């Protein structure tokens, strides 16, 4: 296996390991930390912006998130290796903040907003850059995860009652924002394509340095808590 492929998958596997360890500890101890999720428009819910993606309502929830995180995370760290951590961190914060602002009452937990953020970043960033490999990543992303689009609209409530379309939408917005913020950083355009578009146009130059979410009553396996809701994602 190519060394770069191995190095790119390591951060994603480490992140997934952390998620699984947290869930295993919760399950074995019976101690629920779901209260650390995002509680929209409440001061004590701001901490959830940082903790929410680390928390899940159970193993089924975590399993559903893990495969998408693995694929999209690997795409990010392989094709955008120089700016991957910046994108990952910024989409985490932006998506959590938007969820805190627009989310319905209840505690939101789960890494689903990150999944939407990565998917939308990979798609739009690939389209914006004149790079054939990144175009391919864009189309692969939309082909595999395109069905997620419907789960970030209010209509998703009709399909799965309690769906947190706000969390999906927050992640999508975060991903699109980062695709613009980092447009002049990271992978460069292909030389041939850049020439065809307009090699002499200074404005077009790029510097060289450059699943579903659910909200429902959350009842832990070994301990009941009222008023806690959860986000989850299913395989598209």
Token pair recorded at residue 163: 């769906």
For the chain, the residue count is 236
Of 80, 85, 24, which is closest to residue 54 (Cα–Cα)? Answer: 24
d(CA 97, CA 11): 24
Q: Going from the N-terminus, what domains does the chain have, and what CATH number goes with each?
A: 3-29+36-49+58-204 (1.20.1540)
d(CA 15, CA 12): 5
Q: pTM here?
A: 0.78
Contact between 27 and 85 (Cβ < 8 Å)? no
Whether the CA torsion 40, 44, 50, 51 is positive or negative: it is: negative
pLDDT (average), residues 173-185: 93
pLDDT at res. 154? 79
pLDDT digits (tens, 9 = 90+) for 76-115: 999 999 999 999 999 999 999 999 999 888 888 889 899 9
pLDDT digits (tens, 9 = 90+) for 12-64: 999 999 999 999 999 999 888 989 999 999 998 999 999 999 998 889 889 98
pLDDT (average), residues 211-216: 49
d(CA 195, CA 217): 56
Confidence tier at 191 by pLDDT (50, 70, 90):
low
pLDDT at 187 over 60: yes
């Amino acid at each position: 296996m190519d060394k770069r492929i191995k190095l790119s998958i390591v951060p994603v596997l480490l992140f997934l390991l952390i998620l699984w360890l947290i869930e295993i500890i919760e399950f074995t101890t019976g101690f629920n930390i779901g209260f650390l999720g995002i509680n929209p428009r409440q001061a004590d819910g701001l901490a959830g912006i940082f903790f929410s993606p680390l928390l899940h309502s159970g193993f089924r929830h975590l399993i559903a998130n893990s495969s998408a995180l693995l694929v999209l995370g690997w795409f990010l760290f392989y094709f955008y290796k120089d700016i991957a951590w910046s994108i990952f961190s910024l989409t985490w914060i932006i998506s959590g903040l938007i969820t805190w602002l627009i989310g319905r009452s209840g505690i939101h937990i789960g890494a689903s907003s990150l999944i939407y953020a990565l998917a939308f970043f990979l798609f739009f960033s690939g389209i914006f850059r004149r790079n054939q490999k990144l175009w391919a990543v864009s189309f692969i992303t939309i082909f595999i995860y395109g069905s997620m689009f419907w789960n970030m609209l209010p209509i998703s409530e009709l399909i799965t009652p309690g769906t947190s379309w706000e969390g999906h939408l927050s992640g999508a917005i975060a991903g699109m924002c980062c695709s613009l913020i980092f447009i002049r950083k990271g992978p460069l355009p292909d030389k041939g394509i850049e020439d065809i578009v307009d090699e002499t146009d200074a404005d077009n130059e790029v510097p060289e340095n450059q699943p579903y979410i659910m909200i429902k009553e959350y009842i832990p396996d070994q301990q009941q808590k009222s008023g806690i809701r959860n986000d989850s994602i299913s395989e598209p």
